[in-house]
Amino acid sequence: MNRLRSLVPVACIIGLFLVLVSRGFHKETGFTAFVMFGGKTWAERQLPEVKAAAPHVREWCTGYDGQFYAQIAVDPTLRHPSLPEAIDSPAYRARRIGLPLAAFCAGLGEPARILQAYATINIFFWFAALALVLAMIKPSDRFAWCCVWGIMMGTGTLESVRRSLTDLPATVFALCGVWAMLRSMPLSATGCMVLATLTRETTWLSSFLICEKDQKNGSFFARNKLAQNIVLPLVPVLFIGAWMLYIQHVLPPSATADASGTRDNWGLPFYSMFQAANWILSRPRHEITFENITTFPAFLSFTVQAFYLLRHWKTSDPVWRMGFPIAVLFLFLGWYVWSEHRNVCRIVLPMTFAFHLLLAKERPKRAWAWLILGNLHFPYGILNFLNYRV
Q: Is the dihedral of CA 298, 303, 306, 308 positive or negative?
A: negative
Alpha carbons 212 and 261: distance in angstroms, whole number: 35
CB 372 within 8 A of CB 304: no
- What's the one-letter identity of residue 20? L
> Residues near 24 by Cβ (< 8 Å), separated by ≥ 6?
31, 33, 34, 119, 162, 388, 390
Look at residue 260 and tell me whether its pLDDT is greater than 60.
Answer: no
Least confident of 17-31, 72-86, 261-275: 261-275
Question: Which pLDDT score, from 0 to 100, does residue 3 have?
Answer: 63
Say which residues have a Cβ less than 8 Å from residue 330's Cβ, sequence separation at least 6: 302, 306, 344, 347, 348, 351
pTM score, whole prediction: 0.93
For residue 37, what is the DSSP state? E
pLDDT at res. 258: 58
Task: Answer for the pair 213, 220: CB distance below 8 angstroms, yes or no.
Answer: yes
Dihedral Cα 56, 99, 113, 70, nearest 10 deg:
40
Range in 6-10, 187-191, 208-212 with the lowest mean pLDDT: 6-10
Stretch 38-49: mean pLDDT, rounded? Answer: 88
E strand or H helix at 38: strand 37-38
Is the model's pLDDT at 261 over the cut of 50? no
- How far is Cα 180 from Cα 197, in angstroms, rounded to an integer? 16
Positive or negative CA dihedral for 176, 180, 181, 183? positive
- Which tens digit of pLDDT belongs to each residue from 177-198? 999 999 999 999 999 999 999 9
Are 154 and 378 in contact by the 8 Å Cβ rule? The answer is: yes
Cβ–Cβ under 8 Å, residues 143 and 367: yes
